Amino acid sequence: MNQKIQEFGDLHVPGDPLILVNIWDAGSAKAVAAAGAKALATGSYGVAGAQGIADGEAFPLDDAIINLEHIVAVSDLPVSIDMEAGYGADAGAVRQSVQRAFDAGASGINMEDRMPGENRLIAPEVFAERVAAAASTGIWVNARCDVFRGQSAETDGDALVAQVLERAKIYADAGAGSLFVPFLSDRKCIGAICDASPLPVNILRSSDGPGAAELASLGVARISHGHQPWAAAMTWLTSQAEKVLGGEEPDY
């Protein structure tokens, strides 16, 4: 493991979480770095959206790597790239794709246990093979677990937590560095996962969920902002364009 990857991993501290205001290109990387970020991370939704295309590996890997190279070139901070399902039909192809990210200077990747366009999760043993392939490059793997996607924490929380923890053990054994559990804002479930997970836990910030301080108190080690910074920037741009085109003065 190279020094920058080690530094990135060391930032995952339960109770003192790494805050990632997700970026989408070199320009947004410079803006977030200037604000005092300790690391940078792309979100696939924003990266694709900035090109006017849909999320779900529709953004070609070649372009994703070029975008990564541009980001790495403007900052010395560790950079994690969202590689969605790993850009590969099988573990061997995933390794080749992740090796390209490693060679381009990435310190970490996100990789989810659901293939693009599919609702069902990849079988944990199969996803473990993909995690192991990615981790064999030496990169930090943030293994995303979509168990809570489309589910109710209020009615099925205990069973869903058990599923997450079962997968977390398998993913940890395969070489994952951290566990990303999006679509979860329930405090009890977050705390239960953080208490029992063999991996430091990454939670996606949500407007209806706990704030950063409370997530830290629950034991979260990494807080991501996902597509929200990109979406907010686009909403602001639209509002300013509407003002200008409507004959008003903009706020800039």
Q: Does 247 fall in a domain?
A: no
Q: Phi and psi dihedrals of 106, rounded to 5?
A: -70, 140
Q: Does 245 fall in a domain?
A: no
Q: What's the Rg (C-alpha) of the chain? A: 18
| Mean pLDDT of all residues belonging to the chain | 97
Angle value at C-alpha 104, between 145 and 37, nearest 5 degrees: 65
Q: Does 151 fall in a domain?
A: yes
Q: Which pLDDT score, from 0 to 100, does residue 112 have?
A: 98
Q: Which pLDDT score, from 0 to 100, does residue 30 have?
A: 98
The three-state DSSP-derived secondary structure of the chain is CCHHHHHHHHCCCCCCCEEECCECCHHHHHHHHHCCCCCEEECHHHHHHCCCCCCCCCCCHHHHHHHHHHHHHCCCCCEEEECCCCCCCCHHHHHHHHHHHHHCCCCEEEEECCCCCCCCCCCHHHHHHHHHHHHCCCCEEEEECCCCCCCCHHHHHHHHHHHHHHHHHHHHHHCCCEEEECCCCCHHHHHHHHHHCCCCEEEECCCCCCCHHHHHHCCCCEEECCCHHHHHHHHHHHHHHHHHHCCCCCCC
What is the number of domains present in the chain?
1
Q: Which pLDDT score, from 0 to 100, does residue 184 have?
A: 97
Q: Does 160 fall in a domain?
A: yes
pLDDT digits 0-9 by tens, 71-121 = 999 999 999 999 999 999 999 999 999 999 999 999 999 999 999 999 999
Q: Does 242 fall in a domain?
A: no
Q: Does 246 fall in a domain?
A: no
What parts of the chain have a pLDDT lower than 70?
1
Q: Does 238 fall in a domain?
A: no
Q: By residue range, what is the domain housing residue 127? A: 3-231
CATH at residue 177? 3.20.20.60
pLDDT digits 0-9 by tens, 188-211 = 999 999 999 999 999 999 999 999
Amino acid at 192: A
Look up the pTM and report it: 0.96
Q: Does 179 fall in a domain?
A: yes
Q: Which pLDDT score, from 0 to 100, does residue 1 have?
A: 64
